[in-house]
Amino acid sequence: MKPVQTKTSEEVKKELRQYRYSKTIGFVPTMGYLHNGHLSLVEQCKKENDVTVVSIFVNPKQFGPGEDFNIYPRDMARDLKLLEELEVDIVFSPSLVEIYPAGYSTYVEVEKLGDVLCGNSRPGHFRGVATIVLKLFNIVEPTRAYFGQKDAQQAVVIKKMVNDLNLDVVIRIMPIVRDPDGLALSSRNAYLSREERAAALCMPGALQKVRAKILDGLRDVSVVKDMLQREMNKEPLINVDYLEVVSLDGLETLEEIDMHNTLVATAIWVGKTRLIDNFILGEI
Amino acid sequence: MKPVQTKTSEEVKKELRQYRYSKTIGFVPTMGYLHNGHLSLVEQCKKENDVTVVSIFVNPKQFGPGEDFNIYPRDMARDLKLLEELEVDIVFSPSLVEIYPAGYSTYVEVEKLGDVLCGNSRPGHFRGVATIVLKLFNIVEPTRAYFGQKDAQQAVVIKKMVNDLNLDVVIRIMPIVRDPDGLALSSRNAYLSREERAAALCMPGALQKVRAKILDGLRDVSVVKDMLQREMNKEPLINVDYLEVVSLDGLETLEEIDMHNTLVATAIWVGKTRLIDNFILGEI
């Protein structure tokens, strides 16, 4: 059966009214151009909830000036077909003006957590993320919401927001899904030429290498970072944006690996494309 | 019957569970030290809802450095007695650490509306207000919430936040309650000496005078402001913080009075006490 497609918050709220008091509602917010990473979230959501809602909205507020909002890949027809195959119940695909009407002016800021790593390279990004996620949570009022570990900092920021703002939603973080060559799935992979894609593989390669060393007993963060940097330097087509080793709960710089509370996160530029990847020790 | 007194968000949520799907829940957030202004909100709330929740929490995040957080008047025993007399169902009086645990870092910002008038004199004030109100709304999940028109800018900011963040709560703004001498009720009136209180009356006096002139046909805002300033100048014991004539919906400077969309707002210092007052043409 085709998912019920809703385009306004009134429509999706009305559609959800029948389930509100008797069913669990699972929610997967996305920016569309769905890949198997997204679909793994949808599958998990379906397993754990009576009703599954997927939103598709490319959120301008999480793109900085000069970033790729305008060219971000979109393919609603294909997305809807994929969601139909997975038997999603409700799709919410609002317009820009539905979400941000003229004069919109309210923003959510998660201090500190939103300022480091990607927040440092993309000022305002997590403010945009926190704001849209809060709005979508208020519209859908889900029992559980699903995010990918690929965006590890986003997951940490959203969990913090949910906790700080007393929101009643369980945040579920699902593992990174990779292509067979090791590259983490991302809608932005569509930007890569064949050469760029080959070059980008140095990022998961480097992460895998240091992860193995850590599992073998390496604990010194400066050695870990040197090793990551050296691996990245082997590939002339990429530029490192950052490589950081931080605590998973507070995103604070570590000197020593904590096997239960560490995020090793990297971001690189391959030509005009910015890609991120990470691994964690512990749980978000 | 004594109200059920709750001190943690878990407690108040648990208490509300029995009503959640069958009753309307009315909510009056306060900072305590209740006066008849607060009580008028409670009475209206009781009229319009099945269950009435009143919160008492002096919110440090809406006080600036050097402001009166530490000396803000508190009298929980008296407040509880007043709420018992009004047959309030549930009182929520959380501790500081319950609302802002260590490491708290999420804030809501209503841009523009929160930066003018009182926001100009009290930077960060409305960020603190929006944040606590959102948290309390998320905890109580009320059908309707009640605020006083005395804090007109607060009412405008909260209505904007509710709208922007897709919150499902009806905001009800109730008229200013005054003492027989004309002074708007405020917990901060407790700070005033007899002389200061007499001096403070020039504020409602000035507002009443220009309001009469406007009802008689005066429309030129510069004349209105001059008149207010002149009235205020008559009282040597007060200092004007601001006197503004703005649109009620966007808090934007007006040149001409709009009989359906105007806020005339004033703030004065009387000794170390800051007091506000206003009248509106139209509806918040």
Which are the catalytic amino acids of B? 38
**Residue A166 and residue B104: Cβ atoms within 8 Å?**
no
How far apart, in Å, do the first and last CA atoms of chain A sit?
34
- Identify the burial level of A281 via C-beta atoms within 10 angstroms of its C-beta, where 0-12 means exposed, 13-18 middle and 19 or more buried: middle
**Residue B108 and residue A105: Cβ atoms within 8 Å?**
no
**Domains annotated on chain A, with CATH:** 4-174 (3.40.50.620), 187-282 (3.30.1300.10)
Q: Tell me the angle at which helices A202-215 and A221-233 cross, rounded to the nearest 10 degrees.
A: 150
Q: Does A134 contact B at CB distance below 8 Å?
A: yes
Amino acid A107 reads Y
| B-chain residues near A21 (CB < 8 A) | 21
A46-70: average pLDDT:
97
Phi and psi (nearest 5°) for B189?
-60, -25
**Residue A138 and residue B167: Cβ atoms within 8 Å?**
yes
Confidence (pLDDT) at A9: 98
Residue of chain A minimizing CA distance to B249: A103
Closest partner residue to B9 (CB to CB) among A21, A107, A166 is A166
Residues of chain B with pLDDT under 50: none
Q: Does B134 contact A at CB distance below 8 Å?
A: yes
Each residue's pLDDT tens digit, A177-230:
999 999 999 999 999 999 999 999 999 999 999 999 999 999 999 999 999 999
Q: Does A105 contact B at CB distance below 8 Å?
A: yes
CA distance B103 to chain A (A): 9
* Complex prediction ipTM: 0.96
pTM greater than 0.95 (yes/no):
yes
Q: Model confidence at A1, in pLDDT bands (50, 70, 90)?
A: confident
**Residue A135 and residue B106: Cβ atoms within 8 Å?**
no
Each residue's pLDDT tens digit, A228-281:
999 999 999 999 999 999 999 999 999 999 999 999 999 999 999 999 999 999
Residue of chain B minimizing CA distance to A131: B165
| B-chain residues near A161 (CB < 8 A) | 106
* Cα–Cα distance for residue pair B2/B7, rounded to 1 Å: 15
Q: Does A102 contact B at CB distance below 8 Å?
A: no
Find where tokens 């390279």 sit: A121
Each residue's pLDDT tens digit, A135-181:
999 999 999 999 999 999 999 999 999 999 999 999 999 999 999 99
- Secondary structure of chain B in the HEC alphabet? CCCEEECCHHHHHHHHHCCCCCCCEEEEEECCCCCHHHHHHHHHHHHHCCEEEEEECCCHHHCCCCCCCCCCCCCHHHHHHHHHHCCCCEEECCCHHHHCCCCCCEEEEECCCCCCCHHHHCCCHHHHHHHHHHHHHHHHCCCEEEEEHHHHHHHHHHHHHHHHCCCCCEEEEECCCECCCCCECCHHHHHCCHHHHHHHCHHHHHHHHHHHHHHCCCCEHHHHHHHHHHHHHCCCCEEEEEEEEEECCCCCECCECCCCEEEEEEEEEECCEEEEEEEEEECC
Confidence (pLDDT) at B1: 84
